[in-house]
Amino acid sequence: MLAFTSIDTLIIRSTGLVVAMFSGLVASGPFMRKGLADIKLVFLGALPILLGGFLGSFAAVKLSQHLGETGDSIVRLTLGLLLAAIAVIFVLGGASTEYPQARTKSRLATKLKLRHMYWEETLQKPVKYNAKNVKIAVFLLFAVGVTGGFFGLGGGWAVVPVLNLVMSVPLKVSAATSGVLLAMGNSAAIWPYINIGALIGVVAAPWMLGQIIGGIVGAHILSSIKAAFVRKLLIFMLLLTSFKLFSRGLEGLFNISIPMI
């Protein structure tokens, strides 16, 4: 919505949080039932994401009161760059990101028993994994919470790289766990927006209901599609959105019109 409409950014960000949150909330059921989301990883990241999300949305509300339309353009530009950078990381990571193997054992992860396995439908076998880099991941999840709350994204798009690239959790488990985590994080991040009247129910409702249906369908599809396809789809969506955000940001900052966008 930030990329494709001219609605006030605070309203868009609150709508974005609700939309992302309800998709994650409704998908939590199927993800947990299928064993795709890892509840230990969820509770490891819950507090940093909740705290970060709350602080991020609080900062967004305060900053928008001071920066106005220039602030909106800066938000769009920064977010565009951020999404492009994540897409590049997934491209460079290649197929090794689908089922990563932790080469070294993490003492903290071993102590917390952060090892699990899930049933991989496409391979018809269980896939084992050991998490690593717990401390770095907790710090990054806090940063993701702040960013997600600030931009109204929920942060799921960044939780996947943290779990997958930093903690060596398989891509599908990362995607499912991030869905559950982002729903949790947004549940705190939404309140600053509600308290300044930036959540317009009739605007959020159609998006939210569509996302609920999409969340249920997506959760069922995720278990049966190949991890490589998930990665390619993620890269495509990240690049497309970042391109649009970047151009809208430039249009706003320099008062120019970029054709065909």
Partner 1 sequence: MPIQKKPPIPISGVIYGEFIYWCTCISAIIVVFGTIKSFIEGSSDIPVEQLLDAVFAGQSADTIWASLPIGSTPNALTYLSLLNTGEAITVLGICLGVLSVGPAIFLSAAFMWRSKNKFFAITALFSGIFALVAPFVFFLT
Phi, psi of 95 (to 5 degrees): -70, -15
Q: CA 254, CA 191: separation in Å to the nearest integer?
A: 33
Cα distance between residue 228 and residue 206, in whole Å: 31
- Does residue number 107 form part of the binding site for partner 1 (CB under 8 A)? no
The minimum distance between CB 90 and partner 1, in angstroms, equals 26
Please give the DSSP secondary-structure letter assigned to residue 193: H
Q: Which is nearer to partner 1, 85 or 261 (CB)?
A: 261
Least Å distance between CB 86 and partner 1? Answer: 25
Rounded Cα distance, 193 and 203, in Å: 14
CA dist., res. 145 & res. 182, Å (int): 8
DSSP state of 167: S
50 contributes a contact to partner 1 by CB under 8 A? yes
Does 71 help bind partner 1 (rule: CB under 8 A)? no
Quick one: 221 or 240, whose CB is closer to partner 1? 221
Does residue 161 interact with partner 1 by CB under 8 A? no
Only segment of 31-39, 88-96, 227-235, 253-261 that touches partner 1 (CB under 8 A): 31-39
Shortest distance, CB of residue 132 to partner 1, whole angstroms?
17
Residue numbers 181-210 binding partner 1 by CB under 8 A = 183-184, 186-188, 190-192, 194-206, 208-209
Q: Report CA-CA distances (Å) from 151 to 43, 59, 124, 156, 202.
A: 23, 10, 39, 12, 21
Question: How far is Cα 107 from Cα 97, in angstroms, rounded to an integer?
Answer: 22
Single-letter code of the amino acid located at 67: L
Q: Is residue 173 involved in binding partner 1 (CB under 8 A)? A: no
* Residue in this structure with the two tokens 């064993």, named with its chain if needed: 35
Q: How far is the CB of 121 from partner 1 (least distance, A)?
A: 10
Tell me the sheet residues that pair with 54: none
Residue 240 Cβ vs partner 1, minimum distance, rounded to whole Å: 23
Which residues lie near partner 1 (CB under 8 A)?
5-8, 10-11, 18, 21-22, 25-26, 28-35, 37-40, 42-44, 46-47, 50-51, 54, 112-113, 116-119, 124-126, 180, 183-184, 186-188, 190-192, 194-206, 208-209, 212
